[in-house]
Amino acid sequence: MQLQLFKSKPLVKNLKFRKKDYSVKRVSFSLSKQFIQKWHYAGTCGNASILKLGLFDKNDQFCGVAIWNYPAVGCSRYFGLGVKEVLALSRLAIHPLVPKNAASYLIGQSIRLIKKTYSWIKQLVTYADTRCGHTGTIYKATNWEYLGRTVPYYAWIDSENKTVSCYSNGKKRNYKQMDALYKRIGPYTKHRFGYKI
């Protein structure tokens, strides 16, 4: 089956969301990355991921994605858990013409699958980036617990205003190296949300 990245016209914007018109299933990293590059504000995603779930409409068009990873060690310690006991929702993107509530549905289905398949996971975490004006409305609406703000961070952008990772070929560049190559912006913070399994 060849999947479509909304090449044909999707359902009319703001049409009431009906669960029966949508399904959630695992997708490849390649397909996830394509969608993120086109529809997520960051335009990028890491190469490592544990779970990639796609949202499909009744015409089997790929119209949303949720990517889950094991977070950094510091995040797991924040919850007093081991590295493999926490999953982070690192990317969530929905096509802009998909009806409202699609994101909530995708998150809900993701959590159900994680509970069923990943019995060792005890905690979920995600973030809303103040750099982009996000406050985490979708997480509040889906019963995530607000856990305050993270410590401030800086970001770097290239000549096309795209965010650039400090990781390259398995190595991490320091601030001085990044400043020599890209424009530093910030500092910013992120709103942290948790969901106990």
What integer pLDDT is reported at residue 32 of this predicted model? Answer: 93
pLDDT in the model for residue 7: 52
Is the CA virtual torsion 158, 164, 169, 171 positive or negative?
positive
Euclidean distance between the first and final Cα of the chain, in Å? 34
Question: Do 104 and 137 contact (CB within 8 A), yes or no?
Answer: no
Q: 33: part of which helix (H) or strand (E)?
A: helix 29-39
Q: Give the helix/strand (H/E) hosting 34.
A: helix 29-39
The one-letter amino acid at 171: K
Peptide bond into 187 cis (omega under 30): yes
- Please state, as a whole number, how many other Cβ atoms lie within 10 Å of the Cβ of residue 120: 9
Specify the pLDDT at position 167. 80
Question: Quick one: how far is CA 63 from the chain centroid?
Answer: 14
pLDDT at 8: 46
For the chain, 197 residues long, give each residue's pLDDT as a single digit of tens: 344 555 544 445 557 889 999 999 999 999 999 999 888 877 777 777 899 999 999 989 999 999 999 998 889 999 999 989 999 999 999 999 898 899 999 999 999 999 999 999 999 999 999 998 999 999 999 999 999 999 999 999 999 888 888 887 778 899 999 999 999 999 999 999 999 99
